[in-house]
Chain A
Amino acid sequence: MTGQLWLVVLLMGLVTYIPRMLPQVFLEDIQLSPFIRNFLGFVPYAVLGALIFPGVLTSTGSTGSAIAGGLVAILLAYLRLNIVVVVFGGILGVYLWQLICLG
């Protein structure tokens, strides 16, 4: 297997690159209907919802700390604070939760 690892990684890279590349390069040649345009316009919001849940629950050592950090992030984001503040707030929320619960 070790000798084939190069090949495995190369092929993994290839099958990862192709779906990223095809629409970027060729979609401009296609006339999209308004419905498809709207559909594609909503993709970021659907993707974010899907990426956040349930992944966030297992992103830290424990579900409790993940929920704590997630709630801090939601609150800071709701207040429209800068995204770096939201990220650090989330990290701090998890850190403090761990500190309090694990001693």
Chain B
Amino acid sequence: MRGKPEPSFADLDRRPFVAGCQAAVPIAIGYLPIGITFGLLAKAVSIPNHITLMMSMLVLAGASQFVGINLIILGTSIWEIVLTTFVVNLRHLLMSASLAPRVDTRLRKTHRAILAFGITDETFSVASFRPEASLGFSYLLGLNMTSFIAWNLGTWMGLFLATGMPDALKTSMGIALYAMFIGLLVPACRNSRPILSIALTAIVLQALWHFSPIFSGMSMGTQIVLTTIIASFLGAVMMEREEGL
């Protein structure tokens, strides 16, 4: 296929791979307590352990796994569960599309398909905010794999080491991923007025969906998708006007 080489572990460059693993440290700090909570919850409602472990391995998405467990114990139909999962995670379509032009153009489709498995809100955010123009296979694999391992290790700990972590520490660590998002977004807003206005627009839209009774039926996934589309669209319009002058 266009002379691109077959993926193999020989493609793995050690330095970018390690850089990817290191970049995943804040993600891992955030995933561990949520994974533990997920494992504990699934066990508490008598979901078989192998099902819980398989879910963390195959689905790898915090919100929809919690929703999924919830729907399973409510006895919801398969198709309702699957449809809900699909809607909650549709935002990854936008994230994947945004990340696609940033990925090394020399990568084969198989490489891309492997990397796509590890795209989450968190890995997408960290990768997007990398300064380099083109992101390579090794870096992204290190980032995604470390995050995947942390999520699954957390689930495992919740299931088998029921005590896991002291409660006060676990609730405090609930802020970890949000602190990471803040750590990515705030410096970018300091550098650029358009970015600041896009971020603020997104927050105002989210507040609108959240606090206005008209939109109370909208799911979390739909809210994020709508917000992202509107705010990014406004950004692109602003950019076009500026360049048009």
* Residue B239 CB within 8 A of the other chain: yes
In the bound complex, residues from chain B placing their C-beta under 8 Å from that of A23 are 93, 96-97, 99-100
Q: List 5 A-B contacts (CB under 8 A).
A: A9-B55, A21-B96, A76-B183, A86-B26, A91-B179
* Residue B59 CB within 8 A of the other chain: yes
The answer to whether A41 and B98 touch across the interface, beta carbons within 8 angstroms, is yes
Residue of B nearest to A59 (CB): B174
Question: DSSP majority for the B interface?
Answer: helix
Report A71 CB to chain B, min CB distance, Å. Answer: 10
In the bound complex, residues from chain A placing their C-beta under 8 Å from that of B185 are 45, 48-49, 52, 77
Digitize A11-41: 1 where CB-to-B-CB distance is under 8 Å, 0 elsewhere.
Answer: 1110111011111110110001011111111
The answer to whether A27 and B100 touch across the interface, beta carbons within 8 angstroms, is yes
The answer to whether B176 and A16 touch across the interface, beta carbons within 8 angstroms, is no
* Residue A7 CB within 8 A of the other chain: yes
The answer to whether B172 and A91 touch across the interface, beta carbons within 8 angstroms, is yes
In the bound complex, residues from chain A placing their C-beta under 8 Å from that of B98 are 40-41, 43-44, 47
The answer to whether A17 and B178 touch across the interface, beta carbons within 8 angstroms, is no
In the bound complex, residues from chain B placing their C-beta under 8 Å from that of A36 are 236
Partner of B206, one of A25, A27, A50: A50
In the bound complex, residues from chain B placing their C-beta under 8 Å from that of A70 are 175, 178-179, 182
The residues in B between 160 and 191 inclusive whose CB is less than 8 angstroms from any CB of A are: 168-169, 171-190
A8 to B79, CA, bound (A): 9
Residue of A nearest to B196 (CB): A45
* Residue A100 CB within 8 A of the other chain: no
The answer to whether A90 and B202 touch across the interface, beta carbons within 8 angstroms, is no
15 A-B pairs besides A47-B124, A91-B173 with CB distance below 8 A are A6-B54, A11-B85, A24-B103, A27-B101, A38-B235, A38-B239, A42-B235, A44-B124, A51-B178, A56-B182, A70-B179, A73-B175, A87-B30, A90-B176, A94-B172
The answer to whether A46 and B232 touch across the interface, beta carbons within 8 angstroms, is yes
Among B64, B109, B189, B202: residue with most chain A CB under 10 A = B202
The answer to whether A86 and B180 touch across the interface, beta carbons within 8 angstroms, is yes
Residue of B nearest to A40 (CB): B98
Report A29 CB to chain B, min CB distance, Å. Answer: 9
In the bound complex, residues from chain A placing their C-beta under 8 Å from that of B103 are 24
Report A60 CB to chain B, min CB distance, Å. Answer: 5
* Residue B113 CB within 8 A of the other chain: yes
The answer to whether B96 and A59 touch across the interface, beta carbons within 8 angstroms, is no
Partner of B113, one of A21, A28, A51, A69: A21
In the bound complex, residues from chain B placing their C-beta under 8 Å from that of A5 are 47-48, 51, 72
Partner of B97, one of A1, A15, A27, A74: A27
The residues in B between 53 and 100 inclusive whose CB is less than 8 angstroms from any CB of A are: 54-55, 58-61, 64, 68, 72, 75, 78, 81-82, 85-86, 89-100
The answer to whether B26 and A83 touch across the interface, beta carbons within 8 angstroms, is yes
The answer to whether B235 and A22 touch across the interface, beta carbons within 8 angstroms, is no
The answer to whether A16 and B59 touch across the interface, beta carbons within 8 angstroms, is yes
* Residue B14 CB within 8 A of the other chain: no
The answer to whether A9 and B51 touch across the interface, beta carbons within 8 angstroms, is yes
A38 to B190, CA, bound (A): 20
The answer to whether B78 and A48 touch across the interface, beta carbons within 8 angstroms, is no
* Residue B215 CB within 8 A of the other chain: no
